[in-house]
Structure 1
């Protein structure tokens, strides 16, 4: 699979009249796939394609055929992507991870390109397809694992994302290109909108109630908090680690980030500080850092001021860093409060 930067760079409107041209266009603009069709002769497709940021999007009006992401394609991949597939007209049959569904107009689905999947279009139809590198859509990972190949309702945030992408495609293919900042804003907005839609995704009939939706939202929140903790622990040395930095790196909005932390009862700033203080207590107690000064340990954990570190450490543990080190130097461990 080509890296995302090697995909077709220029926006384009294409009218395709052979199946071979269609296969080549998809391999170049998106990802290598296996292609089959039931009939011979002309194959018609009209495509509008554009890039924004690290993402690619296309509006496709296409004849009947089937595509599949096979294990051989996955094995040859050097990067992971998420694909969002909106059904605008006609019908498609989708499958991934044992899930199978029929998409009607107004519905959508998500795929993980690191897993095999298939899409069958039995008749001519129109779809809009979005390709996003997985590192740009950190919050989608858990949802893609459970919802890949399932039919989702195209309402609310999903519909807004579709409208924004359609408008961008029209303007871009008409020669009105977004500048770099505009592309980044659109990319972050679409990623956040789709994440919101995935969190509220309902794949069941309305009569079954909304209990499963609430359970899914809680599960997604817990999984994302675990991944956030791992990321933060790896970046504690960075004094610039902040809510704004987390939102930018994880490609979520500040509102989404704060909502996630609110469920844990903390703000992003308080959570980062708590992880730094916990790690400081561990290092002050251990032999590996016995030769380092308290100030060196504080700076290594992202604290920019030794006095500030001493004050917040005392507030957290009820003693100064030096007292903590003295009381734990002989091997007597004091339980850390979470």
Structure 2
């Protein structure tokens, strides 16, 4: 990631430009029609876990290919504001031309391309997806579509421009202020996404409301409870059953403060406690109860049960048998 102090560069070599982007932002594929002089003015900086760049470049094209996304350990969302000139963006089935004052959002985990006209100027924000997990539905719906640069989106862009200016003049933000700015920019862009791009209250919501996540979580609860008996039940199986990515699944679980693995184990232990406390529990061995709920090892089951309830499975069953008596 770039330094928290803004860096200004004048680049006169296309190869140098490729190296800067590949090493300090994201690996991309590059092409240009002209083999003549290349020129770029760029200012970039890091704040929190994010990065921002303001660049004016000669005409060229960049593309994020499938292999780039597969080789990456982490996914990012990118917000691209057109400041001068024109660019063309494409992701999935969406394609759009960006004129000054417009912006778009795209997902670096999916292929995309950007073609910049000669002298085009743009500001680019790079946000780790684990810092903006609520953006995924919007990135799917809006990736490669042009949005109006007004309201919350324009305020976010202005704040980032001020960051670059102040940092380059010897007034960088401290760590706390960087985190505050990151949270503020993410919240502003989320507002813009919920408002169909502008953040001014018009248009159809592009960001799924929280009710959609609640419905997904309810579906996860139902799936887990129906498949507790399957030892292979895992985050990967849940994501496949819901037709979502593992990253999206983990982001949903963040809302309830658990990982998928911890939640599955918690539901298994809760069901085991209920079964052992029932009248029929004495008719089944502890090993049978463990295996029926997807635990592959009875000793492991006894250990995690004790950690959860403060007593062994046999002690739990005896206690509830005495209570019933």
Determine the structure 1 residue equivalent to 2:212: 223
Query: Is 2:92 aligned against 1:97?
Result: yes
Shift of 1:129: 0.3
State how far apart, in whole Å, the 1-side matches of 2:44 and 2:51 are.
8
List structure 1 segments (4+ residues) > 2 angstroms apart after TM superposition: 7-11, 219-231, 278-292, 294-300
Q: Structure 1, unaligned stretches of length 5 or more?
A: 1-6, 204-208, 235-248, 251-260, 262-267, 269-274, 301-324, 330-338
Match of 1:176 in 2: 171
Distance 2:12 2:45 in 1: 20
Given that 1:88 and 1:106 are in contact with CA atoms closer than 8 Å, whether structure 2 keeps it comes out as yes
Distance apart, 1:63 and its partner CA: 1.1
Give the secondary-structure state (helix, strand or coil) at the position aligned to 1:85: strand
Tell whether 2:70 aligns with 1:81.
no
Could you list the per-position Cα deviations for residues 11-50 of structure 1 after superposition, in whole angstroms to 9, with x for gaps in the alignment? 3100111111111111122101111111122211111110
- In the TM superposition, what is the alpha-carbon distance from 1:202 to its structure 2 partner? 4.9
The answer to whether structure 1 residue 194 and structure 2 residue 183 are counterparts is no
Please report the TM-score for the alignment, with normalisation by the length of structure 2: 0.67
Note closer, same or farther for the CA distance 1:201–1:62 as it changes in structure 2 (3 Å cut).
Answer: same
Residue 24 of structure 2, aligned match among 25, 29, 38 = 29
**Aligned residue pairs, count:** 253
Residues 222, 299 of structure 1: alpha-carbon distance in 2 compared, 3 angstrom cutoff: farther
Instruction: Map 1:181-260 onto structure 2 (within 5 A).
Output: 181-202=176-197, 210=203, 213-214=204-205, 216=206, 219-226=208-215
Compute the TM-score of the two structures, normalised by the length of structure 1: 0.65
Separation (CA, whole Å) in 1 of partners of 2:216 and 2:130: 13
Match of 1:8 among 2, 5, 17: 2
Q: Which runs of 5+ in 2 are unaligned?
A: 225-249, 257-262, 277-288, 291-300, 312-319
CA RMSD, Structure 1 to Structure 2 (Å): 3.6
| CA offsets 1:147-187 (integer angstroms, 9 cap, x no match) | 11111111111011001100001111212111110011001
Q: Do structure 1's residue 286 and structure 2's residue 281 form an aligned pair?
A: no
Question: How far apart, CA to CA, are the structure 2 residues paired with 1:172 and 1:89?
Answer: 22
Partner residue of 1:124 out of 119, 124, 145: 119
Aligned to 1:39: 34
**Residue of structure 1 in register with 2:238 after alignment:** none
